[in-house]
Amino acid sequence: MALGAYMTYVAAITFERWAPNWMGVYLFVAIPFAFLVTFVLGYALERGFIRFFYNRPLDTLLATWGLSLIMQQTYRTIFGAQEVSVPLPGWLAGAWEPVIGIQLPITRIFIVGLTIAVAVAVYMLLYRTRWGVKVRAVTQNRAMAGATGINTNRVDALTFALGSGLAGIAGCVFTMIGSTNPGTGQLYIVDSFIVVVFGGVASLAGTALSAFTIAQTQNWLEFLLSGSMAKASILLLVILVLYFRPNGLFALRTRS
């Protein structure tokens, strides 16, 4: 997320300096640019680092935590420790008022629309392409998928890279609602983990429904309770659900 946010910042200052008349559309260049950079980095990290820690959960957590510290320091060295802000295009300013008394920020509407578009694109990729079939085959039964000729290592690398690219898009979106700093994205680690586990690993629909359910429940609880109590209540709810359904609410059936 941090890298995607910083790449959006780079795109913004590049347009601001070399093509100020095109600042209104720089975001449509920044989004694919952030995706591409984080996709490439994700692929390189999986091939040169992550793949050596498969089947070693504790080592993976420690190694990736150390990697995050290295990346944060790299961002401080290149961009500085201070927060940086990305200018919004003029057409994203203001709010839409469908009825009197209700105003919806244009930025939030754009984020919702982009989220839906990305979700549909990922769905089409996983369920309507040959590569998606390979991904689902490896997820369900790695040994059998390898026996049929699927290069499981390549599938692992590209899937990890795709996830990194999607995080880059999330970082790009983050610049519309907050400032960017070397620690951008850290506050979402626990929430992301809860969403995936609660919805069911490898279930795209489960992840989407889980994210929506948890977010809406937390907003209602924050309205009734304090923020910390709302977070604690969500954690208790997730623990209760996982006690009865350890694989999540929408876990896919797998073959072993």
* pLDDT exceeds 80 at position 145: yes
In whole angstroms, what is the distance from residue 99 CA to residue 28 CA? 30
What pLDDT digit, counting tens, does each position of 207-228 carry?
Answer: 888 888 888 888 888 888 877 7
Residue 16 and residue 124 in one domain: yes
Residues 234 and 138 occupy one common structural domain: no
Nearest to 31 by CA among 49, 4, 58: 4
- Claim to verify: residue 145 and residue 26 sit in the same structural domain: yes
Query: How many domains does the chain fold into?
Result: 2
Query: What's the confidence (pLDDT) of residue 255?
Result: 53
Say what the pLDDT of residue 28 is.
94
Give the residue from 181, 204, 228 where a domain finishes.
181
Q: How far is Cα 184 from Cα 11, in angstroms, rounded to an integer?
A: 18
Residues 128 and 248 in one domain: no
Answer whether residue 178 shows pLDDT above 90: no
Cα distance between residue 186 and residue 34, in whole Å: 18
Q: In terms of domains, do 101 and 12 share one?
A: yes
What mean pLDDT comes out for the span 44-65?
90
Together in a domain, 35 and 145? yes
Domain coverage including residue 49: 2-181
Residues in the chain: 256
Does 100 share its domain with 34? yes
∠149-155-156 over CA atoms, to 5°?
A: 130
pLDDT value at 142 more than 70: yes
Instruction: Please give the share of the chain, as a percent, with pLDDT higher than 90.
Output: 52
205 shares a domain with 130: no
User: Does one domain contain both 112 and 73?
Assistant: yes
Same-domain check for residues 116 and 79: yes
Query: Do 48 and 102 have their domain in common?
Result: yes
